[in-house]
Amino acid sequence: MAQSHVAGNIRAELARRNKTQADLAAQLGMQRQNISQRLLGRVPFRLHELQAIADYLKVPLTTLITEDSVGAGAASGDELRAHTPGAAQTQGGDA
């Protein structure tokens, strides 16, 4: 499974629900930086993490891992940055 579309699906679902990376990290018991690394594709998601994210977002796991999900109402980059604390400061630099 390609990590880029999985991360894009997760970011889109977070944005649709007005949830942040920090919200997701708290729910999963992880540091926000670890979530960020996964959403940037630097670290792959583990299956149990994807299932926990799907449960938190109240979507089927297939919504997160299906490539076609990205185009179905995915949030724009501006919307995603608005829901990602620190995105403006880290854009163009190391996270």
> So what's the pLDDT on residue 76?
44
> So what's the pLDDT on residue 75?
46
For tokens 């629900």, name the residue. Answer: 17
Asked if residue 37 has pLDDT above 80, the reply is yes
Residue ranges per structural domain of the chain: 3-85
In whole numbers, what is the pLDDT of the chain averaged over residues? 81
Please give the residue that has the higher pLDDT: either 75 or 47.
47
Q: What is the rounded (10 degree) CA torsion for 24, 88, 78, 72?
A: -30
Question: Residue 53, CB half-sphere, CA atoms under 13 Å: how many?
Answer: 29
Question: What is d(CA 67, CA 3) in angstroms, rounded to the nearest whole number?
Answer: 10
Read off the tokens for 11: 């970011």
Question: What is d(CA 37, CA 44) in angstroms, rounded to the nearest whole number?
Answer: 8
Least confident residue range of 10-19, 50-59, 74-83: 74-83
Q: Which CATH class is domain 3-85?
A: mainly alpha
